[in-house]
Amino acid sequence: MPVPDIVDSEPSYVVAEVVDSRWYGNLKSKFAHGLVQYLVAWDRYGPEENSWEPLKMLEGTAMQALVNFHDRYPSKPRDHRVIEVPMRGKKRRRQDLWTDLEKRVVV
């Protein structure tokens, strides 16, 4: 098993790609507040080490992986704080979408 890099005295793992997304939380409650988790494949780790992570754990470090995932699977659950669904009928360049995403990240 690879050893993680140490950044600011904390282990740091590199996202290879985002594999899937799902809703989680209490979706049947009176005030449902479903959130999105992303299934992450980690660099230098096998598929048995993939893990479900909330957006908070991926902010700033895996934005390109999230964009790539939602480009490939636009109907999968997406976190509204990061990725805006492009308007139908309008073509947008990938660079324009990336610039918009950088402005929309909620910290």
Model-level pTM?
Answer: 0.67
d(CA 40, CA 37): 9
Q: What is the pLDDT along the chain (107 residues), one digit of tens a residue?
A: 556 677 788 777 889 999 999 998 776 766 556 689 999 999 989 999 999 999 888 887 888 899 899 989 999 998 876 655 454 445 555 555 555 555 555 54
Identify the pLDDT of residue 101.
Answer: 56
Which residue segments constitute the domains of the chain, with CATH numbers given?
5-104 (2.40.50.40)
Specify whether the backbone of 80 is left (phi greater than 0), alpha (psi in -120 to 50) or beta. alpha
Identify the pLDDT of residue 107.
Answer: 45
d(CA 43, CA 16): 5
